[in-house]
Amino acid sequence: MLAALVTLWPARGEARSPGDGIEADVVVIVDTSRSMAEAGMDPKRASLLVTRLFADIVPGNLAVVRLLDLSHDKAALPSKPTGKQMPCAEGGGMCELVDEPEPGAWTRSIREAGDSELERYGILRRADSNSISAFKERLDLHLAQNRNNSPFLLAFAAADRVFTGWSLSDARPRTVIWLSDGRSDNPDATLSELQALEAKHVTIDALVFGEGDTALASQAGLAPITINSPADMMRAFADIFRRIVGAPYRVDDTIAASPSFEMKLAVEEAWVVIYGDESLSGATVLGPSGQRVSADHASGTGGRAGVYRVAWFADPAPGTWTIQAQGGGAGAAYAVVQRSGLLPALVSPEKALADTEVALVAVVKAGREGTDATDAELLRELRLTVEVEGRELRMVDDGSGLDAVAGDGRFTAAHRFSAVGEVPVRLHLVGAMVDRWIEDSVEVSGSFAYDGGPISLDLGMLSFADASCLPLVFFAEHQGPVSFTARVERRLPSQHELELQVRDVALRDGDSTTASPGEAWTVCLRTGDEAPSSVADGELWLSLAAAGSTDASRVVPFHLTWQVTGLGWFARWWKWLLALLLLIIAAIVAYGYISSSVFPRSAVIRLYADSDLEFGTDYPIRQYRGTGRGCYRDAMVYICGDYRIAGHSRLRLPNGAVVRLRAHRRQLRAQGVGGQALQLRTGEVEWDELSGDKEHTLRFGELYGLVGRDDFFFEVRRG
């Protein structure tokens, strides 16, 4: 026999590992009495196999509880010695008669046991082992079918003790899986213990082996499942797992008849658990695009019931997947559990008023990113309900009632809260691929109703940097604390601020606070230091709304009048005008420097003292002070008649200056000082005279001199 279990659910966060984001508390109670080894019960120990399987795949917390033997385990239980023997309830022979010191002593001792004592009471928790493999190894001895009694009363008390020890969240699904022959040594007390667990919102699944008795489970209001083979056990555990992880979509078939199954859309993780006889040596799951996932994530055996191997993969592609197994027996079966990433979420309200009809609005989140699902085909097959204050309400997205827009993915139900405080709200999303519950809450305050007209207030005349406040007097039906929100209804002039005050709390636009009946309210207009003049003439400027309601009867409107004499135009803007003027001046000055020209960094003046030009002295222009550019002044340098270089001075002309050089738009200009004429050598002995009344463009490497001097020559070179 071969079975495959595929389980899928969404991961949270970037790191992907099996079971991320799923929280469950599961206790498996296994009948370990001697009768379970008999034919028609569990002789192949399928219970051991599926318990090991759950140890591998169940997210959250897991514990396995065996039956206590009143004689063998008497040291763990308070007992009153009798010294008598009696026929054993299981397996024949004689057993010691053990009495309870007083009614309830045994169950009380189990509930009061410390964590280190739990194993004495037949409790083995997965978290107490160093690893899952170590936990699975211990299950073989823990679930040995060698007990002489069937005290399920104590086993259910042990399950209650386990849940109390975890006690993490009431929102976590809690499940007890009861594997037994259905018979108890004390059926009445066992029934009471069962009902006490159910009252704590624990779901109990009763699996009764074929020759067992389903009467006790049925009397407890359970729907017992009869198990006749290991294959029945696998199918039953698959269904239980579907419910635990909120994945109702079911596909069961044999591999021989139909080795393939359809993976649906929006599935985020998959486990494939391959089950078969001892010949199962491996298995592979093939995807629609050639993906191959080996069943090597986990594996286990269980007595003569067979072997399982687990494959895990994330984000499976929708389409046809096929299971291939190596060995495992001729009879092949599989169960597919696909868990969608869909999740309901309450959008509004966060706050509401008692005795006021409000719209409860929810959306469906999809994928690891939690985006709102809006696909019409997807949403059409979903049913969303909300449980609040003992009522179950159908949420609709058809535009009827308080639902704003049909088909926008926002499901709505109308409700009128009667309680005050944090009121629990439970959303239930059901579809072919999903069955999820989400807990939330709404903060509900007292009731408020106002049926008076607009309140007119005259705040008088104000100046800049001023304030005017008036007390508010209005009559409304107000019971209990109510959350109020201030709303400014139109745009205020600059540096004008409206606020409502209650106690020492100032509410500006959008602010909220809680107020009780009889508390005094004040409305204020405040102006800033540079507020302009303004006039209000009885328009709707402000309102006070009971938070969580858009009903006009929960809103108090205020029509306001005021006259503000603010700063004049120049008084308000002179700083900005001054800043603008300074900015313009700075720009003009900066441009004066930027637009002026500078000498090339490598420019050098070479001076000669005789006409044979045999010896010359180089003078790098930019190393002399005063040779840089100024504001709207190009860089200049002077050559003096005594063979010196001098920079520009705003105060006076350098002594002895005979030639001025000026940088101008990537050119050099030269002019004689005081009208002196320059001469330019144009041949070996030919010279052209240049007028001293204007500047002349100077080229690098050309030789110049002064007319009338045969001992003064210069040229400009690139250094």
Residue 305: inside a domain: yes
Residue 662: in which H helix or E strand, if any?
A: strand 657-664
pTM strictly above 0.85: no
Asked whether residue 91 falls in the same domain as residue 207, the answer is yes
The CATH number assigned to the domain holding 541 equals 2.60.40.10
Q: Are residues 328 and 347 in the same domain?
A: no
Is residue 141 classed as helix, strand or coil in its secondary structure? helix
- In the structure encoding, which two tokens stand for residue 708, read together? 């009338």
* 187-199 vs 152-166: helix crossing angle, rounded to 10: 20
Give the count of domains, the chain: 4
For residues 281 and 175, state if they share a domain: yes
H helix and E strand count, the chain: 9, 49
* Residue where a domain terminates, one of 306, 337, 368: 337
For residue 507, the tally of other CB atoms under 10 A from its CB is 21
Same domain, 24 and 128: yes
Dihedral angle over CA of 687, 692, 695, 700, nearest 10: 30
Instruction: Mark which of 392, 422, 445 sits at the end of a domain.
Output: 445
Mean pLDDT computed over every residue of the chain: 87
* 582 in any annotated domain: no
Asked if 431 and 485 sit in the same domain, the reply is no
Bond before 59 cis per omega within 30 degrees = no
| Last-in-domain residue among 445, 479, 508 | 445
Q: Say if residue 211 is in the same domain as residue 329.
A: yes
Neighbour tally for 464: CB within 10 Å: 18
Q: How far apart are CA 171 and CA 173, in angstroms?
A: 6
pLDDT band, very low/low/confident/very high, at 77 (cuts 50, 70, 90): confident
508 and 385 within one domain: no
Identify the DSSP state of 2: B
Strand-pairing partners, residue 3, are 275
Kindly tell me if the per-residue pLDDT of 441 is higher than 90. yes
**What pLDDT is stored for residue 64 in this prediction?**
97
Residues spanned by the domain of 251? 3-337
Task: Please check whether residue 234 lies inside any domain of the structure.
Answer: yes
Q: Mean pLDDT, to the nearest integer, of 193-199?
A: 92
Residue 531 lies in a domain: yes
9 confidence band (pLDDT: 50, 70, 90): very low
Angle between helices 46-57 and 230-245 (to 10 degrees): 30
Q: Are residues 302 and 423 in the same domain?
A: no
Is the domain of 620 the same as that of 659? yes
Q: Is residue 596 in some structural domain? A: no
In a domain, 585, yes or no: no
513 and 536 Cβ atoms separated by less than 8 Å: no
Q: At what angle do helices 132-142 and 46-57 cross, to 10 degrees?
A: 160
Same domain, 462 and 399: no
Check residue 238 and give its pLDDT: 84
Residue 99 is assigned to a structural domain of this protein: yes
Q: Which of 292, 290, 291, 269 is nearest to 282 (CA)?
A: 292
643 Rama class: left (phi>0) / alpha (psi -120 to 50) / beta: left
Could you tell me the CATH number of the domain that includes residue 698? 2.60.200
Retrieve residue 319's tokens: 């389409």
Query: At residue 584, what is the residue type?
Result: I
Q: Which residues pair with 321 in a beta bridge?
A: 261
Residue-level length of the chain: 719
The pLDDT tens digits for 357-383 are 899 999 998 766 678 888 787 788 889
Residue whose C-alpha is closest to residue 636's, from 602, 656, 607, 659: 659
Task: Write out pLDDT tens, residues 541-595.
Answer: 999 998 756 678 889 999 999 999 988 778 778 888 999 999 999 999 999 999 9
Residues 329/2, Cβ–Cβ less than 8 Å: yes
Domain CATH number, residue 257: 3.40.50.410
Whether 140 and 255 share a structural domain: yes
Residue 606 neighbours by CB distance under 10 Å = 17
Q: Report yes or no on 31 lying in a domain.
A: yes
Q: Residue 257 burial by CB count (10 A; 0-12/13-18/19+): exposed, middle or buried?
A: exposed
d(CA 424, CA 266): 29
Query: How would residue 428 be classed by pLDDT, with cut points 50, 70 and 90?
Result: very high
Residues 260 and 310 both lie in one domain: yes
